[in-house]
A and B are shown apart, each in its own frame.
Chain A
């Protein structure tokens, strides 16, 4: 969310009656608009996000994308499917940016079936390629919530803990009682969240309520993006999940020098099941435990099951473990001191200023958001650390 979410263009928005919105605002507090409520919720969310909670760092997320007939609806431009896929690409990139040692898998559902688009994997490239391919497919039939959830929950012993459903249809075609499945999901402690593209559907309400997920319905495209981005942040780790140590391997990238005559190109383990990519490479990452070769990280070793990551990856997700504490908000009138922001050096003009509790440095609203959403560390504290 580095750029200000733009409202949809006027002509892209639905048939609106702007004059009515105006009237509602005038007629006093009795008719508070939905947008007011939304704004308050957003503010609250910002604060909630900064509490000291344990977050799950290694995430295994399955995204279920509805690609049924209703995705052809043109209320998102050019249509729901294209718009969703575009946002999904963005989501996948952001996801791996913020959760480097996590994995994601994608499932599409249409025509009463569920189809696994990509398996659980920690590499964005494959997902992006798969998503690009879906754009051309046609949207037919009805989605099946049951089948797609079952597709995720069925393989026993999965470590999946999160499912995100992007649900456009108002119906689902289920071969069996979905409430039974919801119970199973609940027992497996899988959180299911739903983003609805058309309206609130009761079965989704129940699904998310029972499994502890969130349920949101989009208003327009920018709201859709916002909702999707909420799922980029790792959810709080459930207290019941084991706080265990995880074995990890940190393989070094070995490049056989061209001059080395003994070097033979070899297949990487990850190529065993995928076709199409060039098979033979010279260098790669070698699992420190079993010497299996991989070309990309992060990956789970196919031979010994060790999680292979690179140190920089791990470092990037470090900030989730120790989220930066929320800054203290004080109204500008009460603030006494120099009126410029520590970060951007601009003048403090907004209603309130934000003070870091650790280093007592002062920031403006924009910088506060930037620090918490992107930097994840206080520049003031960094400076004092270095000088001391």
Chain B
């Protein structure tokens, strides 16, 4: 039906609407009106996607000059497909309503197999693709740089956006990368000498172009045509490519030298951590490589590859990576750190040197996006605490809001289990991790829950190693065997594909008898749980040097204390895990936090508001027995017949109900900044 959102007529393809969707659209409209950025948190399963799409499309139709394009970024291919599905529904509805031909062009870029047809992207009204197309400088340059300024960018499922940003700017170099790069360099050399014999003019032409400098790109930037590329810093556009790497042979020679230097750096026996200026100084002293040519590395390589007409760029991924590294390292003084580790911490005897060139500032990668587009919306089911995202991504949002879920019945039941039946505190704190009593109590909790929860339970552990330890210990104590009497056990491996394969094969068995033990760092690949148990607080591995460096940087640059960030990170993991218990309003699920530390205000307060709301004081420090009782009661209550009529008027509205006065008042309370 048609809605009136603050003066804007929105076509909504469903007969009913959730009150929070209405509220969400209101906030969204405000953000667009102000041409600013927004951070919006709304629980999963309440129809975020369709609200976003229908409002922005309506906005586009109403003010075609203000907003020309919607760029919708999601994380994974299935999510993109879901968006496309909703979009189709919306478009069908539009065609039906107006009975006119729809002139909207929507384009989805999911995988390489249906990779973009470049010019079309310019004309499409809606573009749906993955984060990387916009954030990763390597891809963004190909796909997104010509997107119009008056676009609205939406990052859906954006709770991990800072990590995506960091990953897109970080480079890890192992010995294998260097070896492959070596081969690349040799291939380049051979190709160059071949071309020199056959078509020397081509190389000459390239040389001439480089003398003139990258003026073309510069003109483009000044006229504001392109999305600026963080790998292509402003200064180098002003200058010509330095003479030392202008000819193809010289450049290859230069790369060779650089490569040798990196190889030498990897031959170490102790950990080295240094800043980018230190690294540059060292490279100048050792192999006389100046900062300037390094900066042009990425651009020069691209030009060379273009000149040599090499079709299969994938083969040259190693050398491209190295050239990016060279440019980044010489461009940014701040926000990056270089750590060279001779071996992994887990296997100190096996030499496996890695050079981590790690980005510590997520705002670097996302800065061009915020700078270029008039509205950027960051949204997800779990973004709490909301104020931290603007801080770490370094932008100023005009709207920050969190929406709760209006429910006809309390269909989520968060419980914090703090003690076992023997009153021993349950926690995954480092000191008590190996404690026998804690492990046993965790086991008992899972065992008891497996006896009362129907269908599936998803159990999350704080880390992969911790899970292995605990499961092994449960096996010895016979707990695992008892659990197996109630449920099948799946232990998720680190390989996501393998896990989903196993799930597919056992789908029938799963339908009758299911339990998963899965590990928290991967997004879960399944949706079978009636209960989610989070064992311990999923803090990241704090001993990692990269993390330490990042924490230090956050403290120095953004005044975010280490502890705050760690808790924030842990809680968003936990919220993300338990959020999986509920897929929609008719669904229901138990959320069990098995660690007494969750009861503390600093942890609890960082959970999304829609979970916090249902977390009563009475369910903060439960024993296993109490949990079982509450769980049993909850599950029985939820199993009572529940029809759509029961929701109507409370959490599901028709158009008439929506327009009533007191409903509008209620809706006003849903959003909270």
Contacts and interface: CB of A to CB of B under 8 A. Distances in A.
A196 B640 contact: no
Interface of B: 406-410, 451-455, 486-487, 508, 511-513, 530, 616, 618, 626, 629-630, 632-633, 635-642, 646, 650, 666
Contact of A170 (B410, B454, B629, B650): B454
Given A17-B618, A37-B642, A217-B639, A199 B452 contact: yes
Contacts of A202: 454-455, 511
A38 interface: yes
Contact of A34 (B406, B487, B530, B640): B640
Interface string A13-45: 011110110001000011111100110110000
Contact of B513 (A171, A200, A216, A219): A171
B641 A216 contact: yes
Interface stretch (A54-62, A173-181, A280-288, A367-375): A173-181
B512 A203 contact: yes
Contacts of B508: 177, 179
B640 A198 contact: no
B635 A178 contact: no
B406 A219 contact: no
Nearest to B450: A170
Q: Which of B409, B452, B633, B639 has the most CB of A within 10 A?
A: B639
A200 B637 CA distance: 10
21 contacts: A15-B629, A17-B618, A30-B406, A31-B407, A31-B410, A32-B408, A33-B409, A34-B409, A34-B640, A37-B646, A170-B451, A171-B513, A179-B508, A198-B452, A198-B636, A199-B452, A200-B638, A202-B455, A202-B511, A217-B636, A217-B640
Given A41-B641, A174-B512, A203-B512, A219 B636 contact: yes
Contacts of A216: 639-641
Q: Which of B408, B640, B642, B650 has the most CB of A within 10 A?
A: B640
Given A20-B616, A37-B640, A179-B508, A199 B633 contact: no
Nearest to A214: B641
Which size class do A's interface residues fall under? 35 or more
A198 B635 contact: yes
Interface string A42-71: 000000000000000000000000000010
Nearest to A197: B636
Contacts of B633: 14-16
Nearest to B642: A37
Contacts of A218: 636
A201 B452 CA distance: 11
A11 to B, nearest CB: 14
A31 B513 CA distance: 32
Interface in A175-213: 177-179, 196, 198-203, 206
Interface of A: 14-17, 19-20, 24, 29-34, 37-38, 40-41, 70, 75, 145, 170-172, 174, 177-179, 196, 198-203, 206, 216-219
B454 A15 contact: no
Contacts of A145: 512
Contacts of B637: 34, 219
B618 A38 contact: no
Q: Which of B452, B508, B512, B616 has the most CB of A within 10 A?
A: B512
B366 to A, nearest CB: 37
B410 A199 contact: no
Contacts of A217: 636, 639-640
Contacts of A174: 512
B636 A171 contact: no
Contact of B650 (A32, A75, A177): A32
Contacts of A200: 454, 635, 638-639
A172 B454 CA distance: 11
A385 B635 CA distance: 52
A145 B455 CA distance: 15
Nearest to A19: B618
Contacts of A201: 454-455
Given A33-B409, A170-B452, 10 more contacts: A15-B630, A19-B618, A29-B650, A34-B409, A37-B640, A37-B642, A198-B635, A199-B452, A201-B455, A202-B455
B453 A170 contact: yes
B339 to A, nearest CB: 48
Contacts of B650: 29-30, 32
A38 B511 contact: no
A198 B486 contact: no
B127 to A, nearest CB: 38
A86 B636 CA distance: 22
A172 B639 contact: no
A-B CB proximity, top 7 nearest:
A217-B639, A200-B639, A199-B635, A15-B629, A199-B454, A201-B454, A34-B637
A78 B253 CA distance: 87
A19 B616 CA distance: 12
A22 to B, nearest CB: 12
A70 B630 CA distance: 18
Nearest to A179: B508
B454 A20 contact: no
A171 B639 contact: no
A223 to B, nearest CB: 9
A50 B550 CA distance: 71
Contacts of A196: 639
Given A196-B639, A198-B635, A199-B636, A171 B487 contact: yes
A137 B379 CA distance: 58
A145 B642 CA distance: 25
B639 A199 contact: yes
A241 B294 CA distance: 84
A32 B452 contact: no
Nearest to A146: B512
A166 to B, nearest CB: 15
